[in-house]
Amino acid sequence: MKVKIGKIFVGEGAPISIQSMCNTKTVDIDGSIAQILQLEKHGCDIVRLSVPDVESSIAIAEIVKAVNIPVVADIHFDYKLAIASADAGVHKIRLNPGNIGNSEKVKYVADYLNERNIPIRIGVNGGSLEKKYKDMPIADSLCASAMGHVRLLEDCNFFNTIISVKSSNVRDNVDAYRKLKAMCDYPLHVGVTEAGVYTQGVIKSAIGIGSLLLDGIGDTIRVSLTDEPYKEVDTAKIILQSLGLGSVHVEVISCPTCARTDINVKDLANKVINLTKNIRKDVKIAVMGCIVNGPGEASHCDFGIAGGREKSVIFEKGVIVKTVPNEQLDAEIIRFIDTL
């Protein structure tokens, strides 16, 4: 199945999209807009904001108008906020229909969103499972809960659905998505919830999301970090790029450095990353720390730099094409990147 969120398609072979979530107060309209524009610059495809109250649903109407990517309203419990967010122009609602009360309310929301072609993401998290599932293995309980919510919508003739079944435990998370994939055809929003502060969160997300993507599971991804949201987007891009998925862009590899290193590889690699981050080309660039091993080890790259003490070399597919004094290296790198 394929779901349309504003201008972005999710599922059925559409490019895997990157999501993030604002950590601003939604009522801080200017702050939220500024953060979303920053996320857009980093390559975010879809952004979510919490809508905890009526004031937030009013604010989101202004935010939607000022940004360029689809906006998702995150709703808990109050179906009226889902309706208000739909009226505000959001492109998707994150909502678990079993949590909003009786079947009349579910039907009202389902009909309202169906008429406007606004999809719902059912997002089940390990920490907030209904009591009736507590005794089941966590992966089974996540799936049972999600499918329970799905059926409530299907009973209302609503099929415009995306599902997530997240746990903060990577194994449970992966198990749950594998089981869910076998149960339904709905697009899956994949992520590891509450993954933690930067380094831990990046590693848990890379393993959790990456292993699912390797299995062909996942239509849209969110890296969840206790950090600046743009870092979630940067991490998601690297996960996709590492697996040859997502939009095409330049990949920069660099060696770990060793006793042979003759140049500051870290600074040089960061410089090349900054110079190439907005170039949408399938090009691999190597930044290596010595002339002896660098060109050979990076011969699979389209081009690269191997640093020497006073002079460095530029190589293409492992073959040295130019020797450059280090003081001219920056200009030479820029010249090469301009030819991409």
Task: In angstroms, give the least distance from the CB of 259 to ligand SF4.
Answer: 7
Task: Considering only residues 121 through 140, tell me which ones interact with ligand SF4, judged by CB under 6 A.
Answer: none
**Among 82, 206, 288, 333, contact with ligand SF4 (rule: CB under 6 A):** 288
Task: In angstroms, give the least distance from the CB of 298 to ligand SF4.
Answer: 8
Q: Could you tell me if 120 and 113 are in contact, meaning their C-beta atoms sit under 8 angstroms apart?
A: yes
Under rule CB under 6 A, residue 261 binds ligand SF4? yes
Residue 230 corresponds to which tokens in the numbers above? 């743009």
- Hey, is 299 helix, strand or coil? coil
Q: Could you tell me if 26 and 256 are in contact, meaning their C-beta atoms sit under 8 angstroms apart?
A: no
Q: Quick one: which segment of 47-55, 143-151, 272-280, 283-291 binds ligand SF4 (CB under 6 A)? A: 283-291
Under rule CB under 6 A, residue 289 binds ligand SF4? yes
DSSP 89: T
**Among 187, 208, 294, 304, contact with ligand SF4 (rule: CB under 6 A):** 294
Q: Which is nearer to ligand SF4, 5 or 313 (CB)?
A: 313
Given phi > 0 = left and psi -120 to 50 = alpha, else beta, which region is 54? alpha
Residues in a beta bridge with 190: 221
**Among 68, 135, 256, 327, contact with ligand SF4 (rule: CB under 6 A):** 256
Under rule CB under 6 A, residue 299 binds ligand SF4? no
Write down the residue that tokens 């997002």 correspond to.
Answer: 123
Under rule CB under 6 A, residue 255 binds ligand SF4? yes
- By CB under 6 A, the count of residues binding ligand SF4 is 12
Q: Which is nearer to ligand SF4, 98 or 307 (CB)?
A: 307
**Among 131, 258, 319, 327, contact with ligand SF4 (rule: CB under 6 A):** 258
Under rule CB under 6 A, residue 318 binds ligand SF4? no
Nearest to 300 by CA among 264, 267, 251, 247: 251
Q: Quick one: which segment of 127-135, 199-207, 249-257, 314-322 binds ligand SF4 (CB under 6 A)? A: 249-257
Q: Read off the amino acid at residue 250.
A: V
**Among 23, 257, 270, 299, contact with ligand SF4 (rule: CB under 6 A):** 257
Q: How crowded is residue 260: how many other Cβ atoms within 10 Å of its Cβ?
A: 13
Phi and psi at residue 32, to the nearest 5° = -70, -40
Q: CA angle, 170 as apex, 166 and 174 as ends, to 5°?
A: 65
**Among 53, 297, 316, 332, contact with ligand SF4 (rule: CB under 6 A):** 297
Q: Which is nearer to ligand SF4, 228 or 297 (CB)?
A: 297
Q: How many Å apart are CA 336 and CA 340, to the nearest integer? A: 7
Under rule CB under 6 A, residue 260 binds ligand SF4? yes
Residue 249: half-sphere exposure toward Cβ, Cα within 13 Å: 19
- Hey, is 270 helix, strand or coil? helix
Under rule CB under 6 A, residue 266 binds ligand SF4? no
DSSP of 138-168, one letter per residue? Answer: HHHHHHHHHHHHHHHHHTTT---EEEEEE-S
Task: Considering only residues 172 through 201, tell me which ones interact with ligand SF4, judged by CB under 6 A.
Answer: none
Q: Which is nearer to ligand SF4, 190 or 290 (CB)?
A: 290
Q: Judge residue 267's burial from the number of C-beta atoms within 10 Å of its C-beta, 0-12 exposed, 13-18 middle, 19 or more buried.
A: exposed
Residues that bind ligand SF4 (CB under 6 A): 255-258, 260-261, 288-290, 293-294, 297
